[in-house]
A and B are shown apart, each in its own frame.
Chain A
Amino acid sequence: MGRYRWISLLGGAVIVVLTYFPIIFVVSNSLKTGRNIFSSGVFSLFTQFNYQNYSTAWSGVSRSLVNTVIVAAAAIVLGVAAAALGAYAFSQLRFRGKELLFVAYLALLLIPSTLTLIPLFLTIQKLGFFNTWWALVLPYAASAQPLLVLIFRGFFDQIPNELLESARTDGCTEAQVLVRIVAPLTRPVLLTGAILVTINVWGDYLWPTIVIQDPHRTTISAGVQQFVSSFGLNVSSGGSVFAAFVIATVPMFVLVGFTMRYFVSGLTEGATKL
């Protein structure tokens, strides 16, 4: 037994190093001047500390960073609220065709984004949302529905029915049951939903490049790509490109680092119920 323990610790160290070496390179390069990124050897880590790169990168991507926060917040409010209400109906109310409708949600998980990409763009155009944040917020809120309804319903199903019934017989209206009893219990799972939506908005590159024309209105992934193509890696300010990578990544690492439990439970619950 002891032997395996040491082998596993060694193996664990190896896979952690392999996973993190690109990240280490990004951080190290973000502090180098452009020429040194290649010429002083890729193996020399943390030999220069040029903080100027960060102010260059910040002026390039800060706008899209703020946009991302706004779009993510709107998509969370809309997407998480809609999914929570819907899941509550699926869990607590009885109506005809309920399970069939639920399957219609699950089926969406099998519809690839490549199938809907073009018509979704045409729909956005027709609704007059092209080049506005609605073009991002509404599809993000919609694409979160199947997974969030699945996770939320699983959670609501676990709330003991006696608790809700006793509140109802004590004279609570259904709205009061929802606000006073269900909502406080639900906070952790709503947080999970909010994190999943944020990661999606943050990481999506393709959609904003299709529906947002104005470079000042785009979100972080597309904003960073604009910054990369305006500088390139080889020019003297190449280090600031890596600084932009760090700026685009750190908020996600901090957010998910502090809420890891909710993040992991959200990911695995969705997958195991499929």
Chain B
Amino acid sequence: MDVTFMGVEPRVHRGVSWWRYRYRAVLAVLLLPSLLLIGVFSYYPAVRSLIGGFYQWNGFSAPTYAGISQFRQYIQAPTFGIEARNLGILVGGSVLISLVSQFTAAEIVMHMPRRAATAAKYVLVLPIVLPPLVLIEVWAYLLQPGSGLIDRIFGAVGLPQPTWFSDPHLALVGILLVGFPWISNLGFLIFLGGLQNLPKDVLDAGRLDGLSAVRRVFAIDIPLLMPQFRIVVILSGIFAVQNFIPILLLTNGGPGTATLVPGLDMYQSAFQNDQYGYGMAIGTLLFVAMLIFTLIVMRALRPRTN
């Protein structure tokens, strides 16, 4: 052990305890601010949410213990099946479009000459900072029935002009379209980083075998990028499970219940109907669903070790 710590010479008779005391004080000063923040504003709310689902509470009178009745009430509600289906479509859809668009964009940029690739990477990353609200409102404008840009383009090439958010069959598609072409995202950077760090000997072997660029994508890039695919599936899936803000702003769950999802139901239960306990029960179920999703993806897309 060092004789000095933090410039303090330990006194002989009470050396060890003095040293420990200083050490603990420094440790506390360093760790406490951060621990207080996550304790009060992250862990406490999370735990309280897990407990709160078992209590019925309107925010004013005293909470009453309700057991699992609120969970059952949610699952037996006529909207549960619709919400689960909508969430499945949105999560599946956005994971798929994230993977395809972001991986394709990364492949394109990777094949560019180096300076163009760097410029393209930065240009494509910059719109990540576009405030989501602005993006959502802009797509509300682009998808205006009849007069919006997308319907004008559809009309110009002779396609039917859908009414998007007021059509129960297309409202979910409209929600998924927000943010097209979905490239400006963390996933694009993850794929690009993976592609630019592929082992050189494998690429050289592929080149010697005369692999075309398309064959290379399927024979080398995709198998070697499994860890990246896994993380992008998880990140985009988790994001899609939670993100009800486009729905809140564009359709508020409608028309009817065509775009209702659990997150929005939770939000409306708590902040519009004062059913705080019921909202927390939905939040807990959503959390469990998300954990299951993450575990399944972790197992299914496990990198194969040779």
Chain A interfacial positions (CB closer than 8 Å to B): 4-5, 7-9, 11-12, 15-16, 18-20, 22-23, 25-26, 29, 38, 41-43, 78-79, 81-83, 85-86, 88-89, 93, 95, 104-105, 108, 110-123, 138-139, 141-143, 145-146, 149, 168-169, 171-176, 199, 202-203, 205-206, 210, 220-222, 224-225, 228, 233, 241, 245, 248-249, 252-253, 255-257, 260, 263-264, 267-268, 271-272, 274
User: Are A19 and B184 in contact, CB atoms less than 8 angstroms apart?
Assistant: yes
- Bound form: Cα–Cα A134–B119 in Å: 40
User: Are A26 and B7 in contact, CB atoms less than 8 angstroms apart?
Assistant: no
Contacts A8-B112, A110-B291, A249-B131: A117 and B124 contacting too (C-beta < 8 A)? no
- Bound form: Cα–Cα A264–B189 in Å: 8
Residue B190 lies at the interface, judged by CB distance under 8 Å to chain A: yes
User: Are B127 and A20 in contact, CB atoms less than 8 angstroms apart?
Assistant: yes
Per-residue A-contact encoding for B40-71, CB less than 8 Å = 1, 0 else: 11111110111010000001000000000000
Segment touching A, from B91-99, B142-150, B167-175, B251-259: B142-150
The residues of B that contact A108 with a CB separation of less than 8 Å are 38, 42-43
The residues of B that contact A114 with a CB separation of less than 8 Å are 241-242, 244, 263, 266, 283, 286-287
Output the nearest chain A residue to B138 by Cβ-Cβ distance.
A22
The residues of B that contact A175 with a CB separation of less than 8 Å are 6
User: Are A145 and B42 in contact, CB atoms less than 8 angstroms apart?
Assistant: yes
Contact size range, B: 35 or more
- Bound form: Cα–Cα A146–B42 in Å: 10
- Bound form: Cα–Cα A26–B5 in Å: 60
Residue B34 lies at the interface, judged by CB distance under 8 Å to chain A: yes
Residue B75 lies at the interface, judged by CB distance under 8 Å to chain A: no
The residues of B that contact A88 with a CB separation of less than 8 Å are 30
**DSSP majority for the A interface?**
helix
Per-residue A-contact encoding for B153-196, CB less than 8 Å = 1, 0 else: 00000000000000000000000000011011010011001000
Chain B interfacial positions (CB closer than 8 Å to A): 4-7, 23, 26-27, 29-31, 33-35, 37-38, 40-46, 48-50, 52, 59, 104-105, 108-113, 116, 120, 122-135, 137-142, 144, 147-149, 152, 180-181, 183-184, 186, 189-190, 193, 213, 231, 235, 238, 241-242, 244-245, 248-249, 263, 266-267, 270-271, 276, 279-280, 283-284, 286-287, 290-291, 294
